[in-house]
């Protein structure tokens, strides 16, 4: 049996927008996620990095079942989420918890921290007494004093709120945590504390994490593997250090060059930064989506969308530069 905890295969998500007036009106598909496949093994931390609008959150929402994909399948712990009944689906959903970016929007401002932490447990049928005990337990796990259980969100700092969001996610005893920009709203020292906490919890509970961030420092710090997204597609995917130190795809090379301090090998060397504008998700060009920004562009790049191919063990990239070899 496979050890895959999350397996997404050929996922597409098109949002339809209307263009034009009256009789010229037409619907255009915006390909927010375009044929993405990704596997996260049990106990692994996979980071998804990519610039704003590349489809990271859309992918997370599909895995969470908050929106339905246009095409493709999501398999969680061996179960195809498209092929199970409503009750089984509800049960499976308990295995996946989520923490979003904005600490304030993670919690309802009108209810106390304790009620916030207990709410998902109560929905899943945990008796009140047990839920109260677990709320205290998870507060301890995220290193917050139980006295904050009586507080309201506006009485707490961003770092405390994000710890509480983690505590609430943990309370339902998930197997998978999806962390969408979990520390982006925090200042750098608090960011480090929350990341270390997340790493400790992952180890203690043997959790599987999918971490989404546009912050390369965060992704490098936490991830075992990294998937790089650009305009709805995964352009590179591989072991974290390898992707950082030997990026292959021109987009990843450009991303890494934008943070030379992090990457000792690039320090002092002049790597061209990515120029040009980000392409469009509506653009129906058949070729690679990076053509307008890539310095290696050839005729093939304009015509054929490159497939992800393995260039070394577990390291894949979708670029014609490597197809020719
Ligand atoms: N409900 C929706 N309706 C229409 N378009 C949407 C919807 N949700 C997302 N999109 C579009 O899909 C694209 C991908 O959005 P998404 O939020 O997944 O990006 P992201 O990579 O998470 O970006 P960020 O780093 O800014 O959070 C964007 O162009 C966005 O405008
Ligand atoms: Mg997002």
Q: Confirm or reject: Cβ of 55 under 6 Å from ligand 1.
A: yes
Q: Confirm or reject: Cβ of 87 under 6 Å from ligand 1.
A: no
**For ligand 1, mutation pick of 13, 47, 50, 53 (most atoms within 8 Å of CB):** 53
φ, ψ for residue 70, nearest 5 deg: -75, -35
Sheet containing strand 71-76, edge to edge, reads 26-41, 4-19, 71-76, 79-80
Q: Which ligand 1 atom is the nearest neighbour of the CA of 60?
A: 18
Q: What whole-number distance in Å separates Cα of residue 162 and Cα of residue 160?
A: 5
Give the model's pLDDT for residue 223.
96
Give the model's pLDDT for residue 206.
94
Range of the domain at 206: 4-95+174-323
User: How many Cα atoms within 13 Å fall on the side-chain side of residue 88?
Assistant: 9
299: in domain:
yes
Question: Of the bound ligands, which one is closest to the alpha carbon of residue 63?
Answer: 1
Tell me the CA–centroid distance for residue 56 and ligand 2, in Å: 6
- Residue 303 CA: distances (Å) to CA of 34, 73, 110, 306, 320: 17, 27, 54, 9, 11
Q: Which residue, judged by its Cα, is nearest atom 22 of ligand 1?
A: 57
Q: How many CB atoms lie within 10 A of CB 210?
A: 28
Q: Which ligand 1 atom is the nearest neighbour of the CA of 51?
A: 25
146: in domain:
no
Tell me the CA–centroid distance for residue 265 and ligand 1, in Å: 33
Q: What whole-number distance in Å separates Cα of residue 220 and Cα of residue 53?
A: 20
215: in domain:
yes
115: in domain:
no
164: in domain:
no
pLDDT in tens, 126-168: 999 999 999 999 999 999 999 999 999 999 998 899 999 999 9
17: in domain:
yes
Q: How far apart are the first and last CA of the chain?
A: 34
Q: Which residue, judged by its Cα, is nearest atom 26 of ligand 1?
A: 52
Assign residue 62 the CATH number of its domain. Answer: 3.40.50.300
123: in domain:
no
Q: Confirm or reject: Cβ of 214 under 6 Å from ligand 1.
A: yes
Total structural domains within the chain: 1
Segments of the chain scoring below 70 in pLDDT: 1-2, 260-273, 283-284, 324-325
Give the model's pLDDT for residue 264.
60
291's tokens: 């053509």
- CA-CA-CA-CA torsion sign (132, 135, 139, 140): positive
Q: Please name every residue paired with 238 in a beta bridge, in sequence order, or none if there are none.
A: 226
Give the model's pLDDT for residue 283.
66
CB 69 within 8 A of CB 10: no
Q: Which residue, judged by its Cα, is nearest atom 30 of ligand 1?
A: 53
> Closest Cα to residue 47, out of 166, 163, 178, 159?
178
191: in domain:
yes
Q: What is the 3-state secondary structure (H, E, C) of the chain?
A: CCCEEEEEEEEEEEEEEEECCHHHCEEEEEEEEEEEEEEEECCCEEEEECCCCCCHHHHHHHHHCCCCCCEEEEEECCEECCCCCHHHHHHHHCCEEEECCCHHHHCCCCCCHHHHHHHHHHHCCCCHHHHHHHHHHHHHHCCCCHHHHHCCHHHCCHHHHHHHHHHHHHHCCCCEEEEECCCCCCCHHHHHHHHHHHHHHHHHHCCEEEEEECCHHHHHHHCCEEEEEECCEEEEEEEHHHHHHCCCCHHHHHHHHCCCCCCHHHCCCCCCCCCCCCCCCCCCCCCCCCCCCCCCCCHHHHHCCCCCEEEECCEEECCHHHHCC
Q: What whole-number distance in Å separates Cα of residue 121 and Cα of residue 110?
A: 18
65's tokens: 């079942």
- Block residue for tokens 């790493």: 199
């Amino acid at each position: 049996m496979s050890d895959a905890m999350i397996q997404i295969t050929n996922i597409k998500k098109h949002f339809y927008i209307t263009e034009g007036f009256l009789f010229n009106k037409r619907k255009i598909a915006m390909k927010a996620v375009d044929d993405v496949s990704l596997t996260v093994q049990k106990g692994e931390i996979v980071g998804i990095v990519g610039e704003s609008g590349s489809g990271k959150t859309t992918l997370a929402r599909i895995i969470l079942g908050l929106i339905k994909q246009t095409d493709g399948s999501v398999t969680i712990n061996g179960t195809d989420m498209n092929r199970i009944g409503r009750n089984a689906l509800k049960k499976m959903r308990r295995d996946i918890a989520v923490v979003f970016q904005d600490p304030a929007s993670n919690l309802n401002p009108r209810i106390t921290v304790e009620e916030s932490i207990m709410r998902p447990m109560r929905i899943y049928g945990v008796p009140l007494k047990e839920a109260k005990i677990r709320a205290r337990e998870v507060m301890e796990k995220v290193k917050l004093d139980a006295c904050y259980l009586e507080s309201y969100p506006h009485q707490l700092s961003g770092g405390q709120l994000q710890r509480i969001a983690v505590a609430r996610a943990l309370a339902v005893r998930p197997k998978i945590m999806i962390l969408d920009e979990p520390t982006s709203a925090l200042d750098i020292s608090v960011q480090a504390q929350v990341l270390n906490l997340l790493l400790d919890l992952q180890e203690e509970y043997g959790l599987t994490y999918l971490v989404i961030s546009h912050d390369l420092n965060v992704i490098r710090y936490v991830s075992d593997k990294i998937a790089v997204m650009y305009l709805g597609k995964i352009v590179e995917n591989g072991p974290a250090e390898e992707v950082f130190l030997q990026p292959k795809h021109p987009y990843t090379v450009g991303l890494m060059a934008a943070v030379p301090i992090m990457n000792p090998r690039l320090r002092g060397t002049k790597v061209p930064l990515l120029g040009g504008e980000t392409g469009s998700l509506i653009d129906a060009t058949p070729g690679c989506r990076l053509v307008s920004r890539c310095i290696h562009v050839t005729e093939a790049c304009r015509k054929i969308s490159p497939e992800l191919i393995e260039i070394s063990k577990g390291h894949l990239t979708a670029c014609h530069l490597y197809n020719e070899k």
